[in-house]
Every structure is written in C-alpha cells, then in structure tokens.
Chain A
C-alpha cells in the first residue's frame, strides 16, 4: 500500500517538475522562478504526505495525493498565463501552502465529526446569514453581487455557506419521516437558493440544489422527494427565466453564443475557440493563446488546459477528478457513523457538482455560470475552502478506518 503511494508520488514529482521545467524555457529565455515553484510544490507535497502517513496512517492518503497533483495543473497554468508578471502564481502557491496547513491543522485538531450533529439550527442560520450578508454588504464583481470585502480581502460567502449547508442537511435528514417533514426541512434550502438567484450567483445556486437533492436521495432513498424537488426546481427555474433578465441572458447565450460573440457571449466564444484550437494533443504548454480568454485564470482555466494540453490532457484532468470524487465517496462508505457518512457524501458531491458545472459551463455543455474549478482556478478563498473540505474528509476516513480495524 505504502509502496504504491510512494511510486505514484514519484511520478507526480516528475510530471510537476517537467511541466515547470518546460515553463522555464518556453518564453525565449531561461527562467528560474518556475523551477523554484515546482521544487517548493514538490517539497510541500512530500512534507504533507510525510505528516499524514507518519502520524495518521489510518486515513486515506490518496485524497491528499490526488488533490495536490490537481493543484499543480492550476499552478502551472496560472504561471503560464502571466509569465511576465508572475504575482498570481506566487500568490497561488501561497494559497496552496495555506490550504495544506489548514488541512493538516484540521486532521490534527478536529474532534469527531459526530459531535457536530446537534447544532443543526445554528448551521442553517449561519448559511442564510452568510448568503444574505452580500445583499447588504456585497460588492458587485463581474456581474454577480456575491462578494464581500473584509479589509484587503474579497471573499465569496457562498463558498463557506456550502459547507454549513452540508452540515445542516446531514443532521436534519434523519428527521425526515414523511412528505411534510421533507418540505419543512427543505424550506431553508429553498430560501438559500432563492437568495443566490437574486444575487445573480446562479452557479452556486445550481450547486446548492445539487448537494441538497443528492443528500435527500442518499438519506431517504425515496424517489418521490427527489421528483418533487426537481419539479419545484424546474418551475422555479422557468419562473426566474421570465422574471430575472440575467437568467434569460445566460440561457440565450448558451443556446447560441455566436449571436453574442462580440458582446455578452464574447467570453464563452473565446473559450470555445481555445478548446477547438487545442484539438487532440493540444498546442503544447506555452504555445497556445489562452490569454485571449478574459478572466482565464479564474473560471475559464479549464479551456486554457484544453488548448495547451489538448483533449487528452483535459480528459486526464477529468479522470483525476473522478478519482478524487470516488475516494471521497469511498470515505463515506467506510465512515464510522451515518452523520459522518452524510457529511462525506455532501462534501464529495459538492466537489463533483462544482467540477461538472464549471467544466460543462466553459465547454458550453450546460449554460455558463461563474464558479471556480476546485484546486485549479486562481483564488484564495476557494483554495482554502477546498482544503478544509479535504481535511474534514480525511478526518472522517481516518476514524472510519480505525473503526474497521
């Protein structure tokens, strides 16, 4: 077991260093910074793996291995996109370090997840307070009013709210005995989704609904609830298509982006050009033109990967994500108690939905919604939150394995 992990890690170091080495020579002159970035990434991965395997050998190490490898893709791409001014890459590796630190901190200090079960009303109140806070304190960035500013930092409360929603749903689902209960427990969720739609944060709304419906099904095995939830969602979606202009615009752009190619559909069209330019093998790292896509380092980083790594590289990344989600759900299966199990399911499906919605969005498979690609997109708050989630999963897997042994 340990041998396999080590050989996988060696391959990861090799790929990471190769990618960064390529970056150091691909812009006309030899650059030391990418090599330094690559080496520090590898040291960071090696160090965190050492801590986890030495002191918490019971847990699932692949969660960490997979996610830090995925992070390298993002780091390489972010450096490549701004090679002249690598501030973002340096910031991103700082966020990665902070994320790893938070992850290790949680694994060491987090008490049993079971203990969190009692506070379910607290969670939902926090969720709704977080979501409505942007209505009063929020700043509108990129057309969505879902950011608040604390000191010098911008953050998205909906990112954190997702975690609290999962905690709430995990504890409340066992109270659902009949349809009336289901409706009662669901009302706060629908309020949250409504708030997100009003704030124009459609992506987060979609993910909230995904998490909600998944956990409802896992917890109750009752298709009637799912069906009614889907019907309510569709009705709500249809209504918001007619009520909110921004929803309508998103759908229209999705149906025919080239009709808006110089205006509101510019970004998605550029993203499609990038994917088309990549083809099967991609143009090669540093040889494409992903910088033509506006905001490419955030939501559209997947298109940049498609252009330079091609269909094969993009598929490899998607497979890595599948493995990560699988390890998360596997953790849920082996968890000690039902509460931990539901929390693990919630976190894994949150990641899965987020990945699906953002990749589907930038490839025009589904309408575009502005959210970040977990572990890859540039951004501190999402990186931190993803590693916190990972820490919780790690904790659950660790206690689960202890139990099984």
Chain B
C-alpha cells in the first residue's frame, strides 16, 4: 500500500464530501425557491389552520360599525364563528367552515381577517401590540367595515319575503354597495349540517347569489339602453312619433305589446313611460344590431365588471347581449326590448340605473369600505373610482327625465313616494317556454340629487310595476328617511 496514494485519495474524499454537502444546501435553496410555494398551501398542511387559530379572527361590520360577524374562543382554544344575522348577510359574508372551506368575504379577505397580510403600519399600534405581548393578551385579526347599510339590508331582506329573487342598492356617486340580498338564502352557521340542502335544486339553490350571478332577461328595464342609443344615434328622434297598434309585424314574427294594448300615436318619451314594445322594437330595427350592441357595451354588457376592492368577493356575472344572426330584424327588435339574447343580473342593472343617476358615469362597485387593525387604526380606506363613462350627461339627463315620468304617471306608479322624486323603470321579463314572468324594477332617488340606485327582481312576480316596484319604494323610503 502506497502512503502517498492514500493521502491523495483522502484529499479527493474531502472534495467528494464537500460536493455532497453543498449539494444538500443547493437542493434546499432550490426547494425553497421553487417547490415550497407549490406545496405550502396543500390542504394536509396543519400549519394553515394552526396559524389561523393563533389569532382571533377579525370582525365583519356594517358601514356604521354594527358587528355582523364575530369569533369567540370555545373549549380547548378553538374558535367558532358567529353570524349575528345569519341568512340576511349570507351572500355577502359567505361562510367559514372547517369541512367545506370558505366563501364570500370570509374567503377573499381570509388573510386580512386572520391578520396575515396587513401588518401594523402605525407606531401606536406597534407599541400597543408590544404591550399586549408583555401582558400576554390575545392577538386578533383585522376588522372589515362593509359599505352595507345594516338597516337597509335588514329591510330589503324582509321585503323580499318568501319570494325567489334578489335586490341590490348602490350609492350612484361612489359605487358603494348599500345592500345586496338574494333569496332563498342560507345560514352560514349551519353549513356543516346543511351543505347539500343548500346546494340542491329542490330548495332553489340557496348558495346561488342571484343578485350578482343570476341570469335573467332584463325585459323592459333594458329600454333605458335602447332609449340612450336612440337619443345618441338617431337625429331628431324626440320629435318623431310612432303609430302603435299593439302588434309589431316583422316578416313572419309578431312582437306584441303587453296585453296587446295599442298605444296609438306616441313619441319616445311617452313610449318609455308606458313601456311600448312597438316603439322600442321599431327603434331597435332602425338602429340595427351593431349600434344597439355598442350602446349596451357602453353599459358594460359583454364585459367583466371588476370590483373596486382589493379582493373580489362577489364575482359579478357578465351581462350578455348576443344575436344569432345580426341581419335578423325580428331578433334585433326582441333584443331592443330586453328579451331573446339579452341577459343580466340585478347588480349590473343597479349599476346601469346608477350611471344614469350619476350623469352617465358608472362607478366601480365596492363592498369593503375600510379595514382596521385590532387597535382601530385604519389600514385601508376605499377610494371611489370611475369604471366607465357610459353616455353624455345630456342624454343621461333626458333618460332620467323619462324615468321620472315612469314613476310619476307611467307603469311604475307603485314606486311613488310622497316628497321624494323617484326615477325608475319597470320590466316584465318573459322566460322562454314558461307562462310566468319575472318582475323587474330599477330606480334611483332622489332624482335631482341621487343617493341610492336600486334594482330588484322577483322571480315569477308578475308585472314589474307590481311586486318589484313596491319593494323598491320601501327600500328607498328606508334609506332616505332614516
């Protein structure tokens, strides 16, 4: 055996082990950079729940600071979530279940509520936190203040009663969502027992948020858009008059007015007031599908409506306008009165009413007003933002005047309130293959200085001037006369 060889081999061995060990460090670095992010949120990682449980989950409050959702420690350090008004806020707050996960605000603001993302940005909070650590006090998550008005939300919920339907109220000048109710609703505290029931067709799928994810033909409420298009594209339309005989014949197709009623000689303003299908069908044909679609897209049809919030907790369904054959006059006329290829949801329709109220400008809707840390320091404050300039102020003002007439002396008389000028539009949406009609009403008030814009749909609620209009009336009353 050669001594020199032996020493040389040992030196090689030192290098070999160094390579092995540095290989581990290299691998660990790689793991931290590329693998760890992929696996860390795996549902079998107990750290997620443990980390969440360490801090008491934050509150959800309404705009005035009324507590809606809170957490409390129960036995052996676990915490339970309490929903004070259960079904009333279910589609806004969502649920937080150990078994079925989370939804709504609970899901999209999870990191905020559990205190993970937003840290203390204020020296006073940092100092208070330090004191609490010394005193061994419990750490809490951040609190979320919604834009919802508790009184209006409660009222809206009770107004809808046992109907299937939805209602949305928005502040037209800011885009704040003042109330959002969908019926039937579910109780977030009872998710673990009733999950399947809440998801089933026989109970009307309570999990479905009809206010934002419904899929309804807007019916005559869509005439707001057709009227805007007419005022925008057709010269001198206000002085034109139409000769309504109750039945608009387009080739083989006949577009009927409600109850085949004939309105006689009628101009645009009056046609809007009585919701004349003959006139609006004719206007639709005159405009052509492309112009109608352009105006609808100005009002965010066929487009995603993003929330102004940091995290989207609602996911508004895209309102659609489409047609199988854009040369077909019959189909264009149907689209122009909000049937056939047009679908929307109350949130979208409320935004359309709000943009008329706000001089033709649509604000980005939002539902989170403020986020505060557990020492009440503001971490986030919402700023209203413009979503889109839909139409000129001039046209918006004209449409607003038409809408005032609707409530004053037209189909929407039911929504009249003493002392408050309400502007509105009814809608009676026919569902293909069914006799029942959905009752729509969109409105805003006070007409001269709008503070609230509302859209309500009641499934199978008859005509729009009936159920839906009275619900809207009570909502506006509640909000303005508080």
Contacts and interface: CB of A to CB of B under 8 A. Distances in A.
B5 interface: yes
Contacts of A333: 7, 10-11
Contact of B6 (A219, A275, A311, A330): A219
Given A219-B1, A289-B47, A329-B10, A318 B21 contact: yes
Contacts of B28: 275, 306, 311, 314-315, 363
B418 interface: no
A379 B81 CA distance: 44
B478 interface: no
Interface stretch (A131-139, A180-188, A352-360): A352-360
A304 to B, nearest CB: 13
A280 B20 contact: no
A184 to B, nearest CB: 17
Nearest to B44: A261
Nearest to B7: A333
B14 interface: yes
B24 A365 contact: yes
Contacts of A272: 35, 39
B13 A214 contact: yes
Contacts of B22: 322
A325 interface: yes
Contact of B36 (A218, A279, A289, A322): A279
A145 interface: no
Nearest to B38: A276
B18 interface: yes
Contacts of B99: none
Contacts of A330: 14
Interface in A322-363: 322, 325-326, 329-330, 332-333, 338, 341, 345, 349, 352, 355-356, 359-360, 363
A219 B10 CA distance: 10
Interface string A263-279: 00010011011011111
Contacts of B37: 276
A338 B24 contact: no
A73 to B, nearest CB: 16
Contact of B21 (A28, A275, A356): A356
A149 interface: no
A53 interface: no
A173 B6 CA distance: 12
Interface in A26-71: 28
Contacts of A356: 17, 20-21, 24
Interface string B22-48: 111101110110011101101011110
Given A311-B32, A356-B21, A277 B6 contact: no
Nearest to B25: A315
Size category of the binding interface on chain A: 35 or more
B21 A218 contact: no
A39 to B, nearest CB: 26
B335 to A, nearest CB: 50
A218 B44 contact: no
Nearest to A345: B10
B50 interface: yes
A360 to B, nearest CB: 6
Contacts of B27: 360, 363, 365
A277 B23 CA distance: 21
B9 interface: yes
Q: Is the interface of A mostly helix, strand, loop or mixed?
A: helix
Contacts of A319: 21
Given A174-B1, A352-B17, A269 B44 contact: yes
Nearest to B45: A273
Contacts of B31: 275-276, 363
Contacts of A360: 24, 27
Interface in B196-218: none
A363 B30 CA distance: 11
B42 A273 contact: yes
Contacts of B23: 365
Interface string A215-230: 0011101000000000
Contacts of A219: 1, 6
B3 A292 contact: no
Interface in B174-233: none
B136 interface: yes
Given A315-B25, A365-B27, A280 B6 contact: no
Interface string A303-323: 000100001001100110110
A94 interface: no
Given A174-B1, A275-B36, A329-B13, A218 B42 contact: no
Contacts of A258: 39, 42
B203 to A, nearest CB: 33
Contacts of B45: 273
A256 interface: no
A56 to B, nearest CB: 23
B24 A277 contact: no
A82 interface: no
A355 to B, nearest CB: 8
A279 to B, nearest CB: 6
A318 B20 CA distance: 11
Given A218-B6, A338-B3, A273 B39 contact: yes
A396 to B, nearest CB: 13
Nearest to A219: B1
Given A273-B40, A273-B42, A363 B24 contact: yes
Contacts of B11: 333
A314 B32 CA distance: 12
A337 B35 CA distance: 48
B14 A217 contact: no
Which one of B2, B11, B17, B27 has the highest number of Cβ atoms from chain A below 10 Å of its Cβ?
A: B17
Contacts of B36: 275-276, 279
A221 B39 CA distance: 44
Interface in A124-181: 173-174
B5 A221 contact: yes
A279 B1 contact: no
A322 B18 contact: yes
Given A272-B39, A273-B40, A218 B24 contact: no
A218 B10 contact: yes
Contacts of B136: 28
Given A275-B31, A318-B24, A341 B6 contact: yes
A179 to B, nearest CB: 17
A112 B413 CA distance: 112
A314 B29 CA distance: 11
Given A363-B28, A365-B27, A276 B39 contact: yes
A315 B453 CA distance: 61
Nearest to B14: A329
B198 to A, nearest CB: 27
A269 B40 CA distance: 10
B40 A276 contact: yes
A318 to B, nearest CB: 5
23 contacts: A28-B136, A173-B1, A214-B13, A218-B10, A218-B13, A219-B1, A261-B44, A269-B42, A273-B47, A275-B31, A276-B31, A276-B37, A279-B32, A280-B32, A289-B46, A311-B28, A311-B29, A322-B17, A322-B22, A325-B14, A330-B14, A352-B20, A365-B24
Given A292-B46, A329-B17, 4 more contacts: A217-B9, A218-B10, A219-B1, A356-B20
Nearest first, the 9 closest Cβ-Cβ pairs linking A and B are A276-B36, A273-B45, A276-B40, A218-B9, A352-B17, A322-B21, A261-B44, A292-B46, A315-B25
Interface of A: 28, 173-174, 214, 217-219, 221, 258, 261-262, 266, 269-270, 272-273, 275-280, 289, 292, 306, 311, 314-315, 318-319, 321-322, 325-326, 329-330, 332-333, 338, 341, 345, 349, 352, 355-356, 359-360, 363, 365
